[in-house]
Amino acid sequence: MPKDYRKIWDASNDAFQDEYGASDPTEEWYQGYLASPNFQPILWQVAWDGDEVVGSVQNYISLEENELEGRQRGYTEAISVRREWRGRGIASALICRSMAMFKLLNMDEVALTADTQNPTGAMRLYTALGYRPYLTSLELHKPLFLEK
């Protein structure tokens, strides 16, 4: 429900605080999130404990990309489970529900982006569920020191 979008976004940001490069989200980011073409809450899978968001998979389909690439792909993105709920199979269940939904929507494949150094062991989960690497990108940093 639209009234829950902020709660889901906040919970996802909370869960991603362990990730590389995490920073405090801003209102500007939230507004951009709402305006994104990948913002498709009808496709999301969300786990709740009462009013509390436990975890979510913010699925989307890029119709334009699928047409351009000649495929039927759904994305299982922003997979998150809050720290206190990890290790209980919640992410696995949400991802499997997402895959089943995409199958019903006639998608042939699912994809996601992941940090291979994720401290939560997400890569083990993804490969256990059948995901396989198809593209690797590197992000390199070099500090520059100015001489006086």
Is there a domain that residue 147 lies in?
no
Instruction: Give the Cα separation of 47 and 50 in Å (integer).
Output: 10
**Among positive and negative, which fits the CA dihedral 9, 12, 14, 19?**
negative
Indicate whether 111 pLDDT > 90: yes
Is there a domain that residue 114 lies in?
yes
Is there a domain that residue 141 lies in?
no
Is there a domain that residue 93 lies in?
yes
Is there a domain that residue 139 lies in?
no
- The mean per-residue pLDDT over the stretch 17-45 comes to 84
- The mean per-residue pLDDT over the stretch 28-52 comes to 94
DSSP 19: S
Considering its fold, how many domains does the chain have in total? 1
- The mean per-residue pLDDT over the stretch 84-93 comes to 94
Question: What CATH number has the domain bearing residue 27?
Answer: 3.40.630.30
- The mean per-residue pLDDT over the stretch 13-23 comes to 71
User: Both ends of the chain: CA-CA distance in Å?
Assistant: 56
Q: pLDDT value at position 103?
A: 97
Given the structure tokens 């389909």, which residue do they identify?
Answer: 61
Mean pLDDT of the chain: 89
- The mean per-residue pLDDT over the stretch 71-79 comes to 95
Is there a domain that residue 86 lies in?
yes
Better-predicted residue by pLDDT, 87 or 119:
87
Is there a domain that residue 20 lies in?
yes
Is there a domain that residue 135 lies in?
no
Instruction: Give the Cα separation of 116 and 123 in Å (integer).
Output: 6
What is the domain extent for residue 96? 2-128
Q: Are 79 and 57 in contact (CB under 8 A)?
A: yes
Q: pLDDT value at position 10?
A: 86
User: pLDDT digit string (tens) for 112-147?
Assistant: 988 777 777 788 888 899 999 888 777 777 888 877
Q: pLDDT value at position 21?
A: 61
Indicate whether 14 pLDDT > 80: yes
Contacts of 60 (CB under 8 A, 6+ apart): 38, 39, 40, 43, 74, 75, 77
